[in-house]
Amino acid sequence: MKFRMRRLLFLAALLLAFLILTPYAIGYQIAFSDVVFTSGWLLFAIVLFLSSYNVRKKLTYPPLLKSSTWLQIHIYLGAASLVLFLFHTGGKIPAGNLDIALYTLFSLMVASGFFGLYLTRTIPATLSSRGNEVIFERIPMFRRQVKDRVEQIILQSVEESDSSILAEYYESYLMYFLSGPRNILGHLVRSERTSSRLRHELRGADRYLDARDKELASELLDLIKLKDDLDFHYARQGLLKLWLFFHIPMTLVLLMFLVAHIVLIYAFTGGAS
Amino acid sequence: MRIPLQEIGHADSQYERPNQRWVCGWAKDGNPCKLGPDGKGRCTVAAQSICQPVKDGDRWVCIRSEVLGGACTAGPSPTGECACPPTEQHPCQPVRSLRAKRTRLTISAGLFAAAVLLVWLMSPNSLTLVSPGALSAAHLAIEGPPGLPNCQICHQGAEAGFGSWLSMIANQTETHSVEVNQQCLGCHFSETDESIAMNVHSTAELSEASPAVEQLSMLAGSTSFMLSLSDKVHSKPMPEQTQATCSTCHNEHEGATHDMKVMSDTQCQVCHTNQFESFNDGHPAFTQASSISTGIIFDHAKHQPRFDDGLNCQSCHRADAEGKTMAVRPFENSCQGCHEQGSQDHHGDAIKKNPVPFLQLPEMEFEDSIYWPTELAVGENLTPMMTLLLAGDDEALPLLAEIHDEDGAAGDMYEWFFILEDEDELEKKAELAAAIKRLVSELADYSATGEKDRIVRLTNAFSVDPTEPELQALLAELSAANFVMQMFKQRYLPQLEDDLAGDEVDASDDEELPVNWMASKHTSGWRVDSDEGAISYRAVAHSDSWLKTWIEMLGKSQGRADEATTLDELRSDIREKMLDELNGDFKSCTKCHSGQSEAAPWSATERLYDASGFTKFNHRPHMAMLNEAGNCLTCHVPKNESSDTSIAMPRGFQPHDKETCSSCHAPGKANNTCLNCHQYHHERP
């Protein structure tokens, strides 16, 4: 099934569930039923299932569906849990300290989930616009290769021409640029200002270069572009990994607070009558 | 020219393992070892990178593989030892992979959250921290122990802390909401009402056959979508359910401004068989006239001539301090003007003050020598009051039961005598005479012994505790009447004390008093009749304390039948029968004072909050409804010749016209919700 069709179908199903559940929830509320206990336990079960996705990713056996299928279920069920959460809380922000903490944690979880979904849906497209696919873990190695090549070119320039323009340019601009990932925040907002400035400086010096240096400068321009693309991939792929540093630890925190919430509810209300 | 970011070549691509816990520390510089660290974070290259010199002829050569960096530059020493510098022997410091760092962060966050929660839940002010919200304004006033929140007042055991909360879950024998309910009932319902507090509408009587339900069932109103839905999801109608708890409707911890009593119109109608849209759309007309609401029976229609003479509503009614009810002014300010002037006043009849018989010696003849004033005792039956007092005597009780046996004498003394003769049990007559003599002796005894005997007798007779104020009042009245009883004894049974002491006495030896002790016909209400050999009492004035005390005592004893023993059952039965007979004697009181509970309400200011149990009304905001004449006829329409005679109108008013109410109580105008006029609880908590 095409992604767009699948997404439309899910949204339609979610809307339908909302339209059906809303009057039923109000109906139960009118009839003084303890619907809040039902929705609470259902929500807890969903959160447990959503949490198990990370466990599933670590398991190589047994083969419980493909990870991509799990991800789809994770996304759709996560969105559905938000609807259930609204029913459970009655759309109101609670007043108790622990409840406020739990409400905030769940909201942050859902928000980070949607943020992650947004990233996974937008970043790959932007990456493909800046070069071919590159494995995140290899980027430092390629960055090192670029740096080595640039240094070779600068040495060549010094040896083969009388000009020290490229060497000075390297010392003033490129050495820092090549020594690590640069313009991380700029790449997150698709800003090429840093590399543009570097290329602009090099082009500005072009008229002072001899023929050999011009050839080398041309290759330098390509390498600056390459390094900038690598940084772009590094920044954006890194963000894809970084948001999970919030989403996954927060899951465990949420589960802890959920257990405390359930204990307190049953201690102080005795559960559904 | 764009250079590819990554050259994918078999020989150039090394296998990345981001899922492993450890990676080469040099990876961040783009120059990782090819093998990387082992699973425990040890650099495998370091272990293998030391070259293994091999002797090739007479030379030592390094044979380290290309994977491990190839032959070292320096090569082995002449003695065959590795000559690599230490830095090359330990090329990297393995670092944790991103995934491993994330796992550590996750575990740390989880442990931190658990620690925070434990500190939170086990701290001294944990109750404040776990509270789901502030209490409502009314409950905020409930004070807990000094320095502690007041949680444990409702949640027993809450103050004991987190460990106790866990055991509260484990040890719950019934739902906690029911336990909390008991705390609610302690303040909001009387002890006697607690058993019915959680019934539907907090009443023991409401059932599907009750008038309120019946009336609603007769309605033919349209059913809204939400009501249909709630009917479907709520399979059991409320009356068939087990008792509801307070928290079913009243949600606490919603803040000081939260109205715990709020309930939607739809929720009201969920339980009723037929529903309607609103007060203005489908609510039934008011087909019943208001019944007693003040405790005073008053037919306004009968007093119509007085209204024509200038009497108006304010002559008898005045708004109470809150303006909620139109209270009836005291008797002295409203009724006395006509009803204490005697029938010669054409404005109204005097209150009838019929004498209420108290003591009368029944006519009995004995074959044996029994001390009894045979010639003076001419009563046909025992008076009800006398019977009630005799019922306090355990020995007399079986005799009374026989006299009032429906299958036997049925209260007729002569019939009982015939039965005794038939069954040859004439000694019972003597037993009855002895019981009556004991009663007379006790009533005439002004000593402390007599006082104590009367306490025991009344306690037994009415099945009430001696400390009850009603019993104390009756004792006081009997003590006050002691002088009349002494004269009675002196007149009819002058040798009673000797007789009771076991001496042989004869009624023929009784000396006639030199003066006619009956000369005073009205001794503070007491009336004696020498012909009948009886004492009766006539009310001295309105609010007579003797009659009032008896009515209150009887009201108190109603429903107090402790039927633990046979004697108790007999007493309860006797009381019921005497109550019926006394109703006639007390008619001069109960004609206007109607008892709706245990005792008759004497003052109209003791007005019941609600008129019908579920209906409430506040006069104050409706004062603007008074018509031009300034009276109350806009709403209170007197019955007339065209009134529907099938409707009981005890107060002389027709049922209220719903249109009068709905003209203002409508959408967009005045409040037209159910709770504006009705209250859920039959007895207001």
C-alpha to C-alpha distance for B192 and B179, rounded to whole angstroms:
18
Question: Tokens representing B86?
Answer: 């230490």
The H or E element containing residue B497 is: helix B496-501
Are A145 and A118 within one domain? no
The whole-angstrom separation of Cα A208 and Cα B266 is 88
The percent of residues above 70 in pLDDT, for chain B, comes to 74
Whether A246 is covered by a domain: the verdict is no
Same domain (yes/no): A123, A142:
no
pLDDT given at position B2: 67
Question: Taking the alpha carbons of B451, B453, B456, B458 in that order, is the dihedral positive or negative?
Answer: negative
3-state SS assignment for residue B185:
helix
A162-166's contacts with Cβ under 8 Å and 24+ in sequence apart are A162/A210, A163/A208, A163/A209, A163/A210, A163/A213, A165/A205, A165/A208, A165/A209, A165/A213, A166/A209, A166/A213, A166/A216, A166/A217, A166/A220
Alpha-carbon distances, residue A233 vs A210, B98, B178, B638 (angstroms): 34, 17, 62, 92
Q: Is residue B656 part of a domain?
A: no
Distances (CA, A) of B322 to A140, B96, B417, B610: 84, 77, 62, 15
Sort out which chain B residues have CB atoms less than 8 A from A93's CB and list them. Answer: none
Highest average pLDDT, of B317-321, B387-391, B516-520, B555-559, comes from B387-391
Query: Touching check for A59 and chain B: CB below 8 Å?
Result: no
- The reported pLDDT for the residue numbered A117 is 93
Final residue of a structural domain among A82, A115, A130: A130
Average pLDDT, chain B: 77
The tally of domains found in chain B comes to 1
> What residues of chain A, 200 to 259, have a C-beta less than 8 Å from chain B?
222-223, 225-226, 229-230, 233, 241, 244-245, 248-253, 255-257
Q: Is B676 helix (H, G, I), strand (E, B) or coil?
A: helix
Q: Is residue A156 part of a domain?
A: yes
Q: What is the pLDDT of residues B146-169, one digit of tens each?
A: 666 778 778 877 777 887 787 777
Name B594's Cβ contacts closer than 8 Å, sequence gap at least 6: B292, B295, B296, B297, B600, B601
Residues A172, A206, single domain; the answer is yes
Q: Is residue A158 part of a domain?
A: yes
Question: What type of residue sits at position A243?
Answer: W
Task: Select the more confidently predicted residue: A247 or B32.
Answer: A247
B462 closest CA partner among B592, B547, B574, B353:
B574
Residues A122 and A144 in one domain: no
Q: How many domains does chain A have?
A: 2
Task: Enumerate the residues of chain B whose CB falls inside 8 A of the CB of residue A199.
Answer: none
Instruction: Give the chain B residue nearest A141 (alpha carbons).
Output: B30
Residue B219: pLDDT over 50? no
Q: Specify if A242 maps to a domain.
A: no
In a domain, B427, yes or no: yes
| Contact between B254 and B132 (Cβ < 8 Å) | no
B362 by DSSP, 3-state: which? strand
Pick the more confident residue, B655 or A252. A252
Of the listed ranges B173-177, B184-188, B504-508, B629-633, the one predicted with least confidence:
B173-177
- A27 and A63 inside one domain: yes
Using the beta-carbon criterion (under 8 Å), do A28 and B230 form an inter-chain contact?
yes
* Cross-strand partners of B356: B537
8 Å CB contact of A99 and B133: yes
The answer to whether A138 contacts chain B (CB < 8 Å) is yes
Claim to verify: residue A123 and residue A227 sit in the same structural domain: no
CA distance A249 to chain B (A): 4
Indicate the pLDDT class of residue B66, thresholds 50, 70 and 90.
Answer: low
Please judge whether A99 and B28 are an interchain contact, meaning their C-beta atoms are less than 8 angstroms apart.
Answer: no
**Same domain? A84 vs A174:** no
- Is residue A59, in this structure, part of any structural domain at all? yes
Do A18 and A106 belong together in one domain? yes
Cβ-defined contact of A27 to B117 (cutoff 8 Å): no
**A195 and chain B: CB distance < 8 Å anywhere?**
no
Domain check: are A109 and A189 in the same one? no
Residue at B570 is within a domain: yes
**Does the residue B473 lie in any domain?**
yes
Whether A9 is covered by a domain: the verdict is yes
Residue B280 confidence (pLDDT): 87
User: A90 touching B, CB under 8 A?
Assistant: no
Give the 3-state secondary structure of residue B95. strand
- Which residues span the domain enclosing B387? 356-589
| Whether pLDDT at B341 is above 70 | no
pLDDT score for B446 = 86
For A224, the domain range is 136-237
Are B135 and B256 in contact by the 8 Å Cβ rule? The answer is yes
Looking at residue A231, its pLDDT comes to 94
Specify the pLDDT at position A220: 93
Which candidate, B658, B676, B594, places its Cα nearest to that of B298?
B594
Q: Give the least confident one: A205-209, B527-531, B563-567, B654-658.
A: B563-567
The residue from A130, A158, A191 where one domain ends is: A130
The whole-number pLDDT of residue B130 equals: 85
Residue B394's contacts (CB-CB under 8 Å, 6 or more residues apart) are B460, B567
Asked if this assembly's ipTM is beyond 0.85, the reply is: yes
A42 and A120 share a domain?
A: yes
The answer to whether A63 faces chain B, any CB pair under 8 Å, is no
**Chain B residue with the nearest C-alpha to that of A238:** B98
Nearest residue in A to B155, CA atom: A268
Q: CA distances (Å), B608 to each of A48, B199, B396, in order?
A: 56, 21, 41
Amino acid, res. B201: H
Residues A175 and A84 in one domain: no
Q: Do B232 and A27 touch (CB under 8 A)?
A: yes
Choose among B5, B30, B106: nearest Cβ to A132: B5
Residue B323 lies in a domain: no
Is A138 close to B16, i.e. CB distance below 8 A? yes
Least confident of B75-89, B227-241, B286-300, B421-435: B227-241
Asked whether the predicted pLDDT for residue B5 surpasses 50, the reply is yes
Q: What is the pLDDT of residue B289?
A: 65
Please tell me the predicted confidence (pLDDT) of residue B107: 95
Contacts (Cβ under 8 Å, ≥6 apart) of B346? none
Q: For the stretch B570-606, what's the b/e string if a residue is b when 16 or more beta carbons lie within 10 angstroms of its beta carbon?
A: bbbbbbebbbeebeebbebbbebbebeeebbbbebee
> Does residue B238 carry a pLDDT above 70?
no
3-class SS letters over A5-36 = HHHHHHHHHHHHHHHHHHHHHHHHHHCCCCHH
Distance CA A43, CA A85 (A): 7
Please identify every stretch of chain A with a pLDDT value under 70, giving residue numbers as ranges: 1, 270-273
Q: Which of A181-190, B181-190, B362-371, B602-611 has the lowest mean pLDDT?
A: B602-611
Residue B424 has pLDDT above 60, yes or no: yes
Contact criterion met (CB < 8 Å) for B27 and A137: yes
- Asked if A24 and B229 come within 8 Å (Cβ–Cβ), the reply is yes
Kindly state whether residue A141 falls inside one of the protein's structural domains.
yes
Q: Closest partner residue to A31 among B98, B172, B270, by Cβ?
A: B270
User: Is residue A114 a part of any domain in this protein?
Assistant: yes
B110 against A69, higher pLDDT: B110
Cα separation of B351 and B336, whole Å?
9
Closest Cα in chain B to A179:
B29
Q: Are residues A110 and A155 in the same domain?
A: no
Distance from CA of B679 to the nearest CA of A (A): 17
Global pTM reads 0.64
**Higher per-residue pLDDT: B639 or B104:** B104
User: How large is the angle between the packed helices A244-269 and B162-170, nearest 10 degrees?
Assistant: 60
- B130 in A contact zone (CB under 8 Å): yes
Which of B:258-287 have CB within 8 Å of A? 264, 266-267, 270
- Give yes or no for B386 touching A (CB within 8 A): no
Rounded-to-integer distance, Cα A176 and Cα A147, Å: 10
Of the listed ranges B262-276, B481-495, B645-659, the one predicted with least confidence: B262-276
Tens-place pLDDT, residues B534-589:
888 888 778 888 888 888 888 887 766 555 677 777 888 888 888 878 877 888 78
Tell whether B163 is within 8 A of chain A (Cβ). no
Residue B519's pLDDT is 45
| Cβ B537 vs Cβ B546: under 8 Å | yes
Determine the pLDDT at residue B29. Answer: 76
Q: What's the 3-state SS for B625-671? A: HCCCCCCCCCCCCECCCCCCCCCCCCCCECCCCHHHHHCCCCCCCCC
Residue B113 to residue A256, Cβ atoms within 8 A: yes
Residue A171 has what pLDDT? 92
Residue B534: inside a domain:
yes
Is B226 close to A23, i.e. CB distance below 8 A?
yes
The CA-CA-CA angle for residues B150, B155, B161, to 5°, reads 80
Q: How far is A5 from chain B (nearest CA, A)?
A: 33
Instruction: Please give the average per-residue pLDDT across B80-106, as a whole number.
Output: 78
Query: Is B140 touching A (CB cutoff 8 A)?
Result: no
